[in-house]
Amino acid sequence: MSDMERDNCYMRRCFDLARLGLGQVSPNPPVGAVLVYEDQIIGEGYHRRWGAPHAEVEAVASVPEHLRHLIPKATLYVSLEPCCVYGRTPPCTNLILDQGIKRVVVSCLDQSPEVAGRGVALLRAGGVEVRTGVLEDEGRWLVRFRSKWATTGMPWVILKFARTRDGFMGLPERQVWISNPLTLRLVHRWRSELDAIMVATNTALIDNPRLTTRLWPGRSPVRVVLDRRGRLPEKLHLFDGTVPTWVVTEQPARFRGLPVAPIELGFDAPDFAYQLLKELGARRITSLLVEGGSALLHYLIRENCWDEARVFTGNKVLGTGVPAPEVHGRLMDEIHIGDNLLTLWANQVTIHVKQG
Ligand code: AOF
Ligand code: ZN
């Protein structure tokens, strides 16, 4: 194996470890780390949940007693630039320097303004050899929620919808079933990995969704529902109090006594979408899944307030109905899942990270 292949190989292990923290670490990014001595992994770890030790700390702590003398001679691979500030935990740069580690390999820099390259600079100043940019596109993609939130104060917005083969989302006033059991479960997995999920009034009324993670282990995201005039009935699943639910409305008094937190916003404001995303960001929502309906999806696309789209196309043909939005972005992947085709898109305008 060449040096480059070796670095790529251990970085992939870091990514796999990092992904184990998805859905638990927000608003922190998922991060994985491995310690390698002479082509043997002597320790590895990942950031398990927000407030818990960082990946580097876990990796160092995992090295068994009889191998600890090798730590200063080992290379530390980390999927993200090590932090250099006292936050919930002490800086990882201190740990690396204290342990006498002399070589660190990093995928991408931490775009959080308090780090942003200073972690790497501190290590280099301390005599550590640091290689950055290993599988960088993939590394950036992994931390995209945190990067967008830390640099803009807004969540990463993922549009999700299903369309018929002839481009309709459904019939007016009626739900049309396009998903299959596999794609349904996949959506629940996505929910478990994201901070919040949003629907507008008509979807809440017509589908009466729960928006919970029932078909995959993990927690349910915060539910955000738009109800400008406060016309949603109290008996909806969204108001069952099982999951934190925020109602964006011009009529906050309407929701007194219900287990929901109103967010009062004027829907006519020209920058409504921006205000809404800023408000969610201020509440530490770093990722938002938008599940409909059609008007809300069209609106967010028109306002260019989306970052990623996950579109299911089923086999049904309706001939008429509610037109599905057109997504113009970079096609990242196409995956057949039973009778559905899943297409994954990235917004080329807002995107400041690329996929590997
Ligand atoms: C790392 N390793 O595993 C993670 C990092 O609030 P704190 O103390 O958890 O620190 C937040 C900072 O650490 C912030 O810059 C975030 O991007 C980074 N996360 N850093 O060295 C890790 N999860
Ligand atoms: Zn750290």
The tens digit of pLDDT for each residue in 108-165 reads 999 999 999 999 999 999 999 999 999 999 999 999 999 999 999 999 999 999 999 9
pLDDT for position 90: 87
* pTM greater than 0.85 (yes/no): yes
Q: Which atom of ligand 1 is nearest to the CA of 32?
A: 3
Ligand 1 atom 18: residue of nearest CA: 83
> pLDDT tens, 54-98?
999 999 999 999 999 999 999 999 999 999 998 878 899 999 999
Q: Chain-wide mean pLDDT for the chain?
A: 94
CA pair distance 208, 202, nearest whole angstrom: 9
Distance, in Å, from the CA atom of 275 to the CA atom of 34, rounded to the nearest integer, reads 41
Q: How many A from CA of 9 to the centre of ligand 2?
A: 22
What's the distance, CA 126 to chain centroid?
A: 33
Domains present along the chain, CATH in parentheses: 3-142 (3.40.140.10), 151-346 (3.40.430.10)
**How far does the centroid of ligand 2 lie from the alpha carbon of residue 3, in Å?**
26
Q: What is the pLDDT of residues 173-192, one digit of tens each?
A: 777 889 999 999 999 999 99
Quick one: which atom of ligand 1 is closest to the CA of 25? Answer: 23
Residues recognised as catalytic? 56
Three-class HEC string of 10-55:
HHHHHHHHHHCCCCCCCCCCCCEEEEEECCEEEEEEECCCCCCCCH
Average pLDDT over residues 35-51: 97
Q: Which ligand is nearest to the CA of 29?
A: 1
pLDDT for the residue numbered 87: 80
Average pLDDT for 312-326: 94
